[in-house]
């Protein structure tokens, strides 16, 4: 679990800062396949829209139903899409050469599902879209993400937790399938 603490500072009777404890549960799976093969399996399951075009279409949508159609056209078989990715292994490769382990961070989600969580818990935007880390380790290629339901649990909102758990199920299925 990942945690932060809860503190509040008051100076001259005014609140200056508030920090709330947030616990996260990390879901991980490890594959014996190569980094390249794991990333390829992951990529097949998610949509890859041109984000500039996607953003314009979302902005220009006249109705929520139209927006849903745009998102539906952008997602992959997992019902998720890639917002962006980062090659986290690029800098270590420059420093240490090609023997450095590969590592990539994917920002993945579904805008329609994310909007459902935001109905009652605005903080949900802090956690979605979701980061999926795929990296080489001694034991194999690890896929990891922090489960949304664990972030939203303190909100106590049953509907948002239901949506978050459903989204977590999609991410778990995606990670497991890519690790096979």
Confidence of residue 15 (pLDDT cuts 50, 70, 90): low
Assign 33 to helix, strand or coil: coil
Confidence of residue 161 (pLDDT cuts 50, 70, 90): confident
Give the N- to C-terminal CA distance of the chain in Å, as an integer.
Answer: 25
The enclosing domain of 62 has a CATH number of 3.30.310.70
CA distances from 34 to 31, 144, 180 (A): 8, 16, 11
Confidence of residue 18 (pLDDT cuts 50, 70, 90): confident
CA torsion, ordered 153, 141, 107, 124, to nearest 10 deg: 0
Query: Does any domain span residue 16?
Result: no
Query: Does any domain span residue 3?
Result: no
Q: What is the Cα–Cα distance from 27 to 13, expressed in whole angstroms? A: 42
Cα 24 to its chain centre, rounded Å, is 13
- Specify the higher pLDDT residue, 14 or 1: 14
Q: Give how many domains the chain has, as a whole number.
A: 1
Report, as an integer, the average pLDDT of 36-51: 97
Query: Does any domain span residue 20?
Result: no
- Looking at residue 47, the DSSP 8-state letter turns out to be B
Confidence of residue 4 (pLDDT cuts 50, 70, 90): very low
Structural domain span for residue 145: 25-179
Decide if pLDDT at 8 tops 70: no
Query: Does any domain span residue 10?
Result: no
Query: Does any domain span residue 13?
Result: no
- Specify the higher pLDDT residue, 131 or 5: 131
> What does the pLDDT read at residue 76?
97
Q: What is the Cα–Cα distance from 178 to 180, expressed in whole angstroms? A: 6
Query: Does any domain span residue 106?
Result: yes
Q: Tell me which residue of 125, 108, 111, 113 sits closest to 159, measured CA to CA.
A: 113
Confidence of residue 2 (pLDDT cuts 50, 70, 90): very low
Q: What is the mean pLDDT of the chain?
A: 88
Query: Does any domain span residue 9?
Result: no
Query: Does any domain span residue 34?
Result: yes
Rg of the chain in Å (alpha carbons): 19
Cα 111 to its chain centre, rounded Å, is 12
């Amino acid at each position: 679990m990942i945690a932060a603490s809860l503190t509040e500072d008051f100076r001259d009777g005014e609140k200056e800062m508030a920090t709330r404890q947030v616990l996260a549960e990390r879901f991980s799976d490890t594959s014996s396949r190569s980094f390249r093969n794991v990333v390829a399996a992951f990529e097949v399951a998610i949509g890859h829209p041109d984000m500039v075009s996607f953003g314009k279409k979302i902005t220009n949508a006249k109705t929520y139903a139209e927006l849903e159609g745009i998102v539906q056209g952008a997602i992959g078989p997992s019902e998720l899409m890639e917002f962006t990715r980062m090659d986290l292994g690029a800098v270590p490769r420059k420093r240490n050469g090609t023997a450095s382990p590969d590592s990539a961070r994917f920002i993945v989600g579904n805008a329609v599902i994310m909007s459902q969580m935001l109905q009652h818990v605005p903080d949900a935007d802090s956690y979605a879209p979701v980061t999926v880390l795929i990296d080489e380790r001694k034991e194999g290629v690890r896929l990891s993400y922090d489960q949304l339901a664990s972030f939203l649990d303190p909100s106590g909102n049953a509907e948002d937790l239901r949506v978050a758990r459903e989204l977590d199920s999609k991410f778990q299925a995606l990670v497991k399938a890519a690790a096979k």
